[in-house]
Amino acid sequence: MRRVVVTGMGGVTPLGDSWQSISTALKAGRSGVRVMTEWDQHAEIQTRLGVPADHFTVPAHYPRKMVRSMGRVALLGVRATELALQDAGLLDDPMLKLGRVGVAYGSSFGSVEPMLALGKNLAQGRLTGISATGYIQAMSHTAAVNIGVYFGLTGRMIATSTACTSSSQAIGYAYETIQAGKQAVMIAGGSDELNICTAAVFDTLYATSTRNEDPTGTPQPFDRDRDGLVVGEGGCTLILEDREHALARGARIYAEVLGFGTNSDGAHITQPQKETMADTIRLALADAGLGADAIDWVNAHGTATEHGDIAETHATREVFQRAVPITSLKSYFGHTLGACGSIEAWVGIKMSRAGWAAPTLNLRNPDPRCADLDYLQGAPRKMQAQTFLSNNFAFGGINTALVIRCEM
């Protein structure tokens, strides 16, 4: 089977759109969490915390006609893809329009405002105000479709909408597509926007942090004093490519995707199962043809929810049978939902290539109910780490694991 490499990466995150700005924040221990005064009108919601990409605006060079079909979810995805294609040296390549480049992209759902407007009009028995562009902005595959249209892509289209595993599944399915020789290049990743509706859903499940007076002290993945997640937003794209194709065009290679595993719990919508989590990791390792001892560190899902943290750490310990180094990047970016898998893969590749890994922010007292692992705390750790595992686990019991080896 064909080997699959990463030749381009780009994203929009609350900590910036460049690796320089992101690495500066990670090394300084600075998160993007802030108090969302915009939510003050919603008196019943307990959390007032979010991690917005406040700096992001519609790029001036985007044609108005193209932007009409894009809500914030699509805009984040399109911009991330533009940056990744530019990084890969493919932004203006005629190959984009020859059917050799496909898209695998995910979001939890589309943009909320047009969705609410559609529902409001229908509830009032009105059809005025309902538009095709509003529906396109709201549909769950809005990012994937708008990426295809904006860049004129004519290859296969895979739209994933599996909550927190949306972009990690997209990367995995893109990897499998290239492995099978169906496409030479795949645009893979995900995007999601921050809105009150998402925060409210987690709030009703008592899963959000309510430390509204201490925004920089939360979330706290794996910590005994954690009180829940903080919702964020962003978009991130990886350009995956057949290795021989990449070498033939003289592309820079960042990393190689070695293995992918995905399964589902089949047990409970919101309570993760450590057994199937562990099985997912084993599937990814088997796909990569590696033993657990080949993994240098684990890029955890690490949401700072009680059930999630405990189940994930015990699943990890069960597979590795050692105190493998582990960290959670959600302590900086918040939970970016459909974008988290691709953002974490991007940052994981960049950190590994640079020889260090960020600690879990706000982790001071590891929860004794979590498994015995090497939790990165305090300062960034220098590591000669070439191969890492990136895990994501979603509502509905959907699990993913990616094995990535960096070109050093």
The residue type of 15 is: L
Q: Which of 301, 314, 370, 406 is catalytic?
A: 301
Separation between Cα atoms, residue 111 and residue 109, nearest integer Å: 7
What type of residue sits at position 70?
M
Q: Is the pLDDT of residue 213 over 90?
A: yes
Q: Model pTM?
A: 0.97
pLDDT band at 118 (very low <50, low <70, confident <90, very high): confident
User: What pLDDT does 121 receive?
Assistant: 75
Question: Is the pLDDT confidence value at 372 over 70?
Answer: yes
Does 343 share its domain with 226? Answer: no
Q: Is 255 a domain residue?
A: no
Tally of CB atoms within 10 A around 153: 22
pLDDT in tens, 84-112: 999 999 999 999 999 999 999 999 999 99
Q: Which of 227, 248, 269 is the last residue of a domain?
A: 248
Judge whether 335 counts as a catalytic residue. Answer: yes
Q: Is residue 61 annotated as part of the catalytic site, yes or no?
A: no
The question of whether 301 is a catalytic residue gets the answer yes
- 141, 245, 314, 335: which one is catalytic? 335
What CATH code is carried by the domain that includes residue 351?
Answer: 3.40.47.10
- Rounded (to 5) percent helix, strand, coil in the chain: 40, 20, 40
Residues 359-368 pLDDT 10s: 999 999 999 9
Place of tokens 């019991």: 397
Q: What is the percentage of the chain residues whose pLDDT exceeds 90? A: 91
Q: How many CB atoms lie within 10 A of CB 167?
A: 38
Regarding whether 24 and 161 lie in a shared domain, the answer is: yes
Is the confidence at residue 9, as pLDDT, over 80? yes
- Please check whether residue 24 lies inside any domain of the structure: yes
Q: Which domain holds residue 344?
A: 260-406
Selecting among 141, 164, 314, 370, the annotated active-site residue is 164
Residues 68 and 16 in one domain: yes
Answer whether residue 379 is part of any domain.
yes
pLDDT score of 130:
66
- The domain total for the chain is 2
Residues 225 and 290 in one domain: no
Question: At residue 129, does pLDDT exceed 70?
Answer: no
Query: Quick one: 400 and 307 in the same domain?
Result: yes
Does residue 58 share a domain with residue 103?
Answer: yes
Span 267-290, average pLDDT? 94
**Other beta carbons less than 10 A from residue 378's beta carbon:** 11
Residue 392: which H helix or E strand, with range?
strand 387-394
pLDDT grade for 343, boundaries at 50, 70 and 90: very high
Assigned domain for 254 exists? no
Question: Regarding beta strands 356-357 and 381-382, do their DSSP bridges make them parallel or antiparallel, or are they unpaired?
Answer: antiparallel
Question: Would 145 be classed as within a structural domain?
Answer: yes
Question: In the predicted model, what is the mean pLDDT of residues 310-328?
Answer: 98
pLDDT tens-digit readout, 10-60: 999 999 999 999 999 999 999 999 999 999 999 899 999 999 999 999 999
Of 226, 248, 270, the residue that ends a domain is: 248
Q: Is 345:174 a contact under the CB 8 Å cutoff? A: no
Q: Give me the pLDDT at residue 365, please.
A: 97
> Does one domain contain both 242 and 375?
no
The CA distances from residue 357 to 7, 344, 350, 379, in Å, are: 21, 12, 9, 9
What's the gap between Cα 144 and its chain centre? Answer: 15
Instruction: Clarify whether residues 380 and 244 are in a common domain.
Output: no
Residues 96 and 228 in one domain: yes
Tell me, yes or no, whether 99 and 69 share the same domain: yes
Asked if the structure places residue 301 within a domain, the reply is: yes
Among 213, 248, 283, where does a domain finish? Answer: 248
Give the residues across from 10 on adjacent strands.
Answer: 237
> What is residue 122's predicted lDDT score, i.e. its pLDDT?
73
Same domain, 329 and 232: no
Average pLDDT, rounded, for the chain: 96
Q: Which of 70, 47, 159, 52 is nearest to 107 (CA)?
A: 159
130/221 same-domain check: yes
Listed residue (297, 266, 272, 265) closest to 375, CA to CA: 297
278 pLDDT more than 90: yes
Task: Give 375's strand partners.
Answer: 326
Asked if residue 368 lies in contact with residue 50, where contact means CB atoms within 8 angstroms, the answer is no
Q: Where are the beta strands (DSSP E) in 141-282?
A: 157-160, 185-192, 234-242, 255-264
| Length of the chain (residues) | 408
